[in-house]
Structure 1
Amino acid sequence: MKAIRLDKPGGLDRLRLHDLPDPGRPGPGQIRVRISASSLNYHDYGVASGRMPTEDGRIPMSDGAGTVEAVGEGVEDFAAGDAVVSCFFPLWQDGEAAVADFKTTPGDGIDGYARESVVAPASWFTRAPKGWSHAEAATLTTAGLTAWRALVVDGGLKAGNDVLVLGTGGVSIFALQMAKAMGARVAATSSSDEKLERLRAMGADFTVNYKADPEWGSAVIDWTGGRGVDHVVEVGGPATLPQSIKAARIGGHLALIGVLTGRSGEIPTALMMARQQRLQGLIVGSRRHQEDMVRGLEATGIRPVIDRSFPLEGIADAFRHEESGRHFGKICLEF
């Protein structure tokens, strides 16, 4: 089977196509999946670029979607022919967060889904939404579930809430779609007026160019009539968090997801305390969260926004496209 391996010390020019042995038939409790698609995330880029070192020869990519080819003894959740999608934390099945690292995350601590076939425990997958392509389903493992957990699981999103999303990456686009589908109003930021226009076409109620208006938190506050938003999907990190705190209402919820602007920095903790806000860090979610999300997506009719797809052997070009920042929504691999 075809697969991509990453040679140490990492770097996009060290992603190499290999022909690996077939994984064979599934054992008890396992399924064999023909992987047909993956999608790119900032975490995957961190691994591939060498910024997040991993073992020599690691198969990258945390997201995988495809078709069950065979099931092992005792597997009842799936049958041959079922469309499935992988879980980011395959050992976190349910309950409160049980992991604080990436030792069990495919594409980082263990081999991922940049390969044509895999044999793994059935519990490492959930069913994909009915009628979705494999590329569409592959966007859910990381980006889709992160947005779902931020707004629905941790945030308790309600109709009539105001939500702020930052930028036009996969998590932010999913958060916009989910919030609108559930009756919320959405404010969105970008440095591109063209992208802001596309966000408005998708239903964003208010947009602001953060380069043209560095005090965009105040602009969001004004949009809400001085109250502030109920939820912030905070993907930027230290450089954007001060404005997000300003934009959120008293008692508001800020889901801290990304470190796109760095891993540390000065935060106006006194303002956050005074406004009695809740800042909650999160990394994706559990298998149960993913099962609930799939049902929610089927009920609302949401479909992911895919910017562009690349073949498996074009994985380095896919990451370079991500690196450029020109994309709107998800970048996928289809093979």
Structure 2
Amino acid sequence: MKAWQKQGLGLENIKLVEIETPKPGAKQILMKVKAVSLNFRDKAIVDGVYIPDLMNNKTFVPVSDASGEVISVGSEVTKFKVGDRVTSHMFTKWIQGKPSPDDSLYSIGGPNDGGLAEYMLLDEDTAVSTPNNLTDEEASTLPIAALTVWFSLVEYGNIKAGETVLVLGTGGVSVYAVQIASALGAKVIVTSSSDEKLAQVKSLGADEVINYGKTPDWEKEVLKLTNGNGADHILEVVGGESINRSIEAVAMQGNIYVIGFLGGMMAEVNLFALLAKQVKIHGINVGHKKAFDDMQRAFNQLNIKPVIDTVYPFEQAIEAYKHLQRGAFGKIVIRVSE
């Protein structure tokens, strides 16, 4: 089969190769990949900054998020049959409850083979049925971006209608945050440096927007927009010094979900402000399989349609990565097959 393979660091070392089509083990299914979507994780792996001790010296098929059709099943598989539409889940051992310290060892798209290939193996216990109302391209955007938001707001945050959610940026996770929070009845505030993108998030359900290019002290603006109360939930995708701005913008006993590190992995935190507000800071690393199943069912009810910026053909995977690095509104998808 044709596959893109990470053979070193940097995009120049993502190579299109011919490798043997895998065969499913007893509890595995073989999926014909129809589409994959890219995440910041994929870029970080290429850059050599995502769990470097585990990823940097490994050769594997990248990209964890994939959707397609079952074409073969192992001898002990009972949950899926040939012809079923399925979507991947990155953590193949995290079914529910607390994560394990070694979950990353078993994740797909690094260090184990992912979906940027014509065929992909999935474990029966962690494959997810694709919602009937989504195309494969749309479903491929769910496993990291949507589940990360769902796990933050629903599993950890126990979000309630009427609460305020602050969303930083307009990338794949952030756009899903606007859609999910709005669908669950929250008031949504979004920051961006682009008036065009802010207009787009307004159309997706955002109530208030802040252009941080024009209003650099966005955290103070959040307090103004919430009558001094702050946001109950903050999706923190920037990291670095942004964490202290989020602490200033959050409500008393509010939740900050640390999802990304676009602005840096290290931060000096104002501990007094943290203590004074009794803030709950959650480190978020996607979520477990049970939450994915719950989210899939909810998406059918909430009528959330994924926002896709651009769909690239399989042969242009490198261009898709470059687009991800430039930034996108919503998700970057690669169509692997029809």
The root-mean-square deviation of aligned C-alpha atoms, in Å, is 1.4
Query: Do the aligned residues in 2 keep the contact of 1:92 with 1:99 (CA within 8 Å)?
Result: no
Partner of 1:15: 14
Query: Do the aligned residues in 1 keep the contact of 2:133 with 2:300 (CA within 8 Å)?
Result: no
Aligned pair count reads 332
The Cα offsets for residues 144-169 of structure 1, whole Å up to 9 and x where unpaired, read as 10010011111101111110000001
Among 281, 287, 294, the residue aligned to 1:279: 281
Aligned to 1:110, the other structure's residue is in SS state coil
Query: Do the aligned residues in 2 keep the contact of 1:88 with 1:285 (CA within 8 Å)?
Result: no
1:262 corresponds to 2:261? no
Aligned to 1:237, the other structure's residue is in SS state coil
Query: Do the aligned residues in 2 keep the contact of 1:7 with 1:57 (CA within 8 Å)?
Result: yes
Partner of 1:36: 34
Deviation at 1:321, TM superposition (A): 0.8
Partner of 1:241: 243
Deviation at 1:238, TM superposition (A): 1.8
Query: Do the aligned residues in 2 keep the contact of 1:69 with 1:80 (CA within 8 Å)?
Result: yes
Rounded to whole Å, the distance in 1 between the matches of 2:102 and 2:222 is: 33
Q: 1:56 to 1:98 in 2, by over 3 A?
A: closer
Aligned to 1:260, the other structure's residue is in SS state coil
The answer to which of 174-183 and 121-130 deviates more is: 121-130
Partner of 1:2: 2
The Cα offsets for residues 104-128 of structure 1, whole Å up to 9 and x where unpaired, read as 2212221111111123321231111
Deviation at 1:100, TM superposition (A): 6.2
**Identical columns (%):** 38
Rounded to whole Å, the distance in 2 between the matches of 1:120 and 1:140 is: 16
Aligned to 1:17, the other structure's residue is in SS state strand
Among 223, 227, 246, the residue aligned to 1:221: 223
Rounded to whole Å, the distance in 2 between the matches of 1:108 and 1:119 is: 14
Gaps of 5+ in 2: none
Gaps of 5+ in 1: none
Deviation at 1:331, TM superposition (A): 0.3
Query: Do the aligned residues in 2 keep the contact of 1:229 with 1:248 (CA within 8 Å)?
Result: yes
Rounded to whole Å, the distance in 1 between the matches of 2:213 and 2:105 is: 37
Among 45, 48, 72, the residue aligned to 2:46: 48
**TM-score using structure 2 length:** 0.95
The answer to which of 258-267 and 95-104 deviates more is: 95-104
Q: Which amino acid aligns with 2:16?
A: L
Among 168, 177, 194, the residue aligned to 1:192: 194
Rounded to whole Å, the distance in 1 between the matches of 2:213 and 2:100 is: 38
